[in-house]
């Protein structure tokens, strides 16, 4: 058994886990998993996220609106638009108000997943306004924020510098220099399976530059399974490969990486 593994970013409410969600989650403690932060991306999956958090003592929740949830129907796949569009007509402020009661639940430990995603055709002005509102909410609630940043480094970092929230920059893909500056602000840097991929040079440099006390581990499951199981459905137990990779880069024992990053996760979530 490997551990203690704390997965700071998972999506067990995703359809990929429909058939065996509970069986898989039941199995994780025997694989060294001591904590999971399950992420909501809009009001539609928030109830499922809370269901998992209340079913398992070691699961906590982050509730927020992902920038991809602003995608118009014409740009969505078979699943169609998120409730942000299909229910609220793109009025993310109304959806945020509808989500407010969730933050009174003690199992909700963070605001997120939220941020900026310039890969998808979502208007930047709407994304920026939503992300800024969610940062302000996190500060108001004194909760950490889970930051999504895809092809939007400059704008994400500018807002984080302006407001200085606590939280995690999820699936970090920026430079080593920026990672060090974000950590100096008190933010934690999240690394998952993508950091083990061949060609992930920027992630390697960021890992080398950061102290272990600034790093947390994640999966983004069911996505981004690490090497050597890349291409399979990801789950929290596969963090063992990420921890081993970071340990190798830092010339540490994997157990030290797991122990320290699990303590970091508990600290940022106030557990």
Q: 3-state secondary structure string, 53-78?
A: HHHCCCEEEEECCCHHHHCCHHHCCC
**Residue 74: its pLDDT value, please?**
87
Helices (H), the chain: 21-27, 46-55, 83-86, 92-99, 124-141, 153-163, 176-184, 201-209, 239-250, 254-269
**Residue 56: its pLDDT value, please?**
98
**Residue 197: its pLDDT value, please?**
97
Q: Spell out the domain ranges in the chain.
A: 5-269
H or E segment to which residue 189 belongs: strand 188-191
Task: Give me the tens of pLDDT residue by residue for the chain, a chain 271 residues long.
Answer: 788 999 999 999 999 999 999 999 999 999 999 999 999 999 999 999 999 999 999 999 999 999 999 999 888 888 899 999 999 999 999 999 999 999 999 999 999 999 999 999 999 999 999 999 999 999 999 999 999 999 999 999 999 999 999 999 999 999 999 999 999 999 999 999 999 999 999 999 999 999 999 999 999 999 999 999 999 999 999 999 999 999 999 999 999 999 999 999 999 999 9
Gap between the Cα atoms of 218 and 235, Å rounded: 10
CB count within 10 Å of CB 69 equals: 28
Q: Which residues are annotated as part of the binding site for a divalent metal cation?
A: 9, 11, 113, 148, 170, 220
**CATH number for the domain running over 5-269:** 3.20.20.140
Which residue pairs from 246-252 have beta carbons closer than 8 angstroms and sit at least 24 positions apart in sequence? 246/191, 246/195, 246/207, 246/212, 246/215, 246/217, 249/204, 249/207, 249/208, 250/207, 250/208, 250/212, 252/212
**Residue 3: its pLDDT value, please?**
82
**Residue 103: its pLDDT value, please?**
98
Q: Which residues are annotated as part of the binding site?
A: 9, 11, 113, 148, 170, 220
């Amino acid at each position: 058994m490997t551990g203690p593994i704390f997965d700071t970013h998972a999506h067990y409410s995703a359809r990929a886990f429909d058939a065996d969600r509970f069986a898989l989650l039941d199995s994780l403690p025997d694989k060294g998993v001591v904590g999971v932060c399950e992420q909501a991306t809009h009001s539609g999956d928030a109830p499922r996220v809370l269901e998992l958090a209340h079913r398992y003592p070691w699961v906590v929740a982050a509730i927020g609106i992902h920038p991809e949830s602003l995608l118009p129907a014409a740009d969505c796949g078979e699943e169609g638009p998120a409730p942000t569009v299909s229910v609220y007509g793109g009025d993310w402020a109304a959806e945020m108000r509808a989500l407010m009661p969730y933050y009174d639940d003690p199992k909700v430990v963070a605001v997120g997943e939220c941020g900026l995603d310039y890969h998808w055709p979502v208007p930047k002005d709407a994304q920026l306004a939503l992300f800024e509102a969610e940062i302000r909410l996190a500060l108001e609630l004194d909760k950490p924020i889970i930051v999504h940043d895809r092809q939007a480094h400059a704008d994400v970092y500018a807002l984080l510098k302006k407001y200085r929230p606590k939280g995690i920059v999820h699936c970090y893909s920026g430079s080593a220099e920026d990672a060090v500056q974000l950590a100096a602000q008190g933010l934690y840097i999240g690394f998952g399976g993508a950091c083990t991929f061949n060609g992930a040079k920027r992630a390697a440099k960021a890992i080398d530059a950061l102290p272990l006390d600034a790093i947390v581990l994640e999966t983004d499951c069911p996505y981004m399974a690490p090497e050597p199981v890349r291409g399979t459905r990801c789950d929290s137990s596969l963090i063992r490969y990420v921890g081993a990779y970071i340990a190798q880069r830092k010339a540490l024992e994997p157990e030290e990486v797991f122990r320290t990053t699990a303590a970091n996760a508990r600290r940022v979530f106030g557990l």
